[in-house]
Structure 1
């Protein structure tokens, strides 16, 4: 999957939703993003990041929220930013400048911004949102959500090591080998110290380190996950501690205890995870209830 969609910058014809207000929408496609916005002022702007290999097109396919967004006059911004488990300082600066340009050129409102992502895109959403708030940027999210994201890079690395040792699933072994090599080259082997993991990860459960998202202490947060241990046991021989939900639940507890943030919600689903092609997979965009998400966004 390529990093960006190679298309020319152009506006596509207006699109209309199916509600009685017949709100007119414009679809704008550029190399690094796709934007669907109402012609009139939007009630909110939802910025979406996909997983490691997803681009705007695949996010739109797997997370079919556009119809619901149009019915509520919400602008949807799909980013073609991928192939990242974390953000460098340069990444944060470049993404911030990109968002500034998009909001300015398209006259998007800045008073009701939400950022969310699936899998590694959730990591990006948390780290970028923390940066935007920390730097008192003109674009600050009111809320952030993640969808079954590997927020604890150290725990994720250790899971990959276990998968290699189990040698049960060819996919798990290949993925584990690739990820441990990537992390070893970029962050170092944690046996030699976990400082680089703490520096780049949204959360490190081994030390309860949350400084990389500490500025979200007053931000609305939603953590979606579907901890179907039976599915993962059959398909990958995973144990409960191998699931992303294990780290997500830990982070939820830490945030509740440390910040007493009543705006943090942990949403665990059952049998909601399916890919767009109908394939059963708890690690999917579909665990997010779109109607509930939009109500959350539009609620003061």
Structure 2
């Protein structure tokens, strides 16, 4: 099926798979007019209501996409040589609309996105990717290519691209520190920027540089040297280019990105000398922190729900997520936590089973914030999960461990009812549980004190 622009929902997947792109021209079987399909599949078909030139769709018209004979999307606008070119609008049946200016099939410049909820967002597009930033801040945005090739898929859902990169949003003058934001598993970097618009814009006003890196696969820094090297090299380059002291970085992320932020910070303080910076503080939006607990929760979900019929789409998503976790961890760690407890403890951000907290012991002397929307009613209704299955249990356990061991700057922040996706739908597992101005004030205070 055609997917010119991926609708952004601030993804919640803990494990994600890359998308293979096999582009091809396909014909309208009635008139022979050809249209480019960047994600061609055998079940795709089209109909084109407009002119043809040299057997390609040309000029103004209506393009309708079908999957197994059923209409799924339509494009209304200008075409050139079989690709959208000029002003146009995509209508995704049941999933909203995207309107803007296309250049050779790719959205560029100002555009708008209307979600199925009716919420409409306007912003700028760079190479099909939506960025919800106000114009003055958008002008400060810069994309930095790197020499790293993504040989181990640390950045997935970007088609066949193997190039790693990062964005910066630079204050106009006097950079006082850096805020690092890491995507959740499978989430693209542009989604991170759009979901954190208020935080980023407030950071810029307070002379804080924002950095968002193209890393969204949470296999972990203990098992992927490329991921660690990419983070280290980026932080080094940013520190040098923008003259940011290495002790003035605050690092955080959502879900799998929060896991990476925590683990990087722990590694920076475990005397292994594997990191190039030592973050001044770390935060996470609902990250799983105890991998043994995550595995066992996923296994239990499969046991309770795998044979049930009539599950809602949300519950099916939860079940697929559980299966991916079990399969992935069986492959990475060689089996369950009962079979290989030491492997799970070594790679976890916090181990509830260990008196010393596992790797969490390295966070005893650093400000830590863990955000969570512990909405049990939503979990029961939408995912058939209970308190034992929620990240809140282990997040509060980790903060309790740190408090008991003398860290008075370790905070569990229960953002009950605050979780919403960019499209306006309710979901406790979202970037929005981080209140932007309060978080920014926390960051500014830490950076100003860390001289």
Instruction: Give the alignment's TM-score, normalised by structure 2.
Output: 0.59
Aligned length: 285
Q: For residue 32 of structure 1, what is the aligned residue in structure 2? A: 165
**Equivalents in 1 of 2:422, 2:215: separation in Å?**
21
1:183 aligns with 2:329: yes
Q: For residue 113 of structure 1, what is the aligned residue in structure 2? A: 249
Q: For residue 67 of structure 1, report the CA deviation from its aligned partner.
A: 1.6
1:240 aligned to which of 387, 401, 422: 387
Between stretches 123-132 and 275-284, larger displacement belongs to 123-132
1:139 aligns with 2:273: no
Contact conserved, 1:37 with 1:74, CA < 8 A, in 2? yes
Secondary structure at the counterpart of residue 87 of structure 1: coil
Q: How does 1:213-252 map to 2 (within 5 A)?
A: 213-252=360-399
**Equivalents in 1 of 2:275, 2:416: separation in Å?**
37
Query: Which structure's CA Rg is the greater one?
Result: 2
1:128 aligns with 2:261: no
Q: For residue 155 of structure 1, what is the aligned residue in structure 2? A: 293
Q: For residue 441 of structure 2, what is the aligned residue in structure 1? A: 295
**Equivalents in 1 of 2:424, 2:299: separation in Å?**
30
Contact conserved, 1:27 with 1:34, CA < 8 A, in 2? yes
Contact conserved, 1:48 with 1:78, CA < 8 A, in 2? yes
After superposition, the C-alpha distances for 1:208-258 in whole angstroms (9 at most, x for unaligned) are: 45342433221111111010000010011111010001110111111111x
**Equivalents in 1 of 2:274, 2:329: separation in Å?**
31
2:222 aligned to which of 66, 74, 88: 88
**Equivalents in 1 of 2:360, 2:400: separation in Å?**
14
After superposition, the C-alpha distances for 1:121-176 in whole angstroms (9 at most, x for unaligned) are: 11100111122234296522111001100111111111111111121532222111
Contact conserved, 2:371 with 2:433, CA < 8 A, in 1? yes
Contact conserved, 1:85 with 1:123, CA < 8 A, in 2? no
Q: For residue 26 of structure 1, report the CA deviation from its aligned partner.
A: 5.2
Contact conserved, 2:143 with 2:165, CA < 8 A, in 1? no
Secondary structure at the counterpart of residue 238 of structure 1: coil
Q: For residue 71 of structure 2, what is the aligned residue in structure 1? A: none
1:267 aligns with 2:413: yes
Q: For residue 158 of structure 2, what is the aligned residue in structure 1? A: none
1:192 aligned to which of 339, 352, 358: 339
Secondary structure at the counterpart of residue 267 of structure 2: helix
After superposition, the C-alpha distances for 1:270-297 in whole angstroms (9 at most, x for unaligned) are: 2110001101001000011111111111
Measured at CA, do residues 204 and 2 of structure 1 come closer, stay the same or move farther in structure 2, by a change above 3 Å? same
Q: For residue 201 of structure 2, what is the aligned residue in structure 1? A: 67
**Equivalents in 1 of 2:235, 2:18: separation in Å?**
21
Between stretches 162-171 and 240-249, larger displacement belongs to 162-171
Structure 1 vs Structure 2 CA RMSD: 2.3
**Equivalents in 2 of 1:53, 1:26: separation in Å?**
22
1:100 aligned to which of 217, 228, 236: 236
Measured at CA, do residues 145 and 2 of structure 1 come closer, stay the same or move farther in structure 2, by a change above 3 Å? same
Measured at CA, do residues 178 and 2 of structure 1 come closer, stay the same or move farther in structure 2, by a change above 3 Å? closer
Q: For residue 10 of structure 1, what is the aligned residue in structure 2? A: none
**Equivalents in 1 of 2:267, 2:340: separation in Å?**
25
After superposition, the C-alpha distances for 1:99-139 in whole angstroms (9 at most, x for unaligned) are: 21232234334342100010011110011112223429652
Secondary structure at the counterpart of residue 38 of structure 1: coil
Q: Give structure 2 stretches of 5+ with no counterpart.
A: 1-16, 20-125, 128-134, 146-163, 306-310
Asked which structure has the greater RCO (Cα within 8 Å, sep 6+), the reply is: 1
**Equivalents in 1 of 2:301, 2:356: separation in Å?**
25
Secondary structure at the counterpart of residue 191 of structure 2: helix
Q: Per residue, is there more helix in 1 or in 2? A: 1
Q: For residue 21 of structure 1, what is the aligned residue in structure 2? A: none
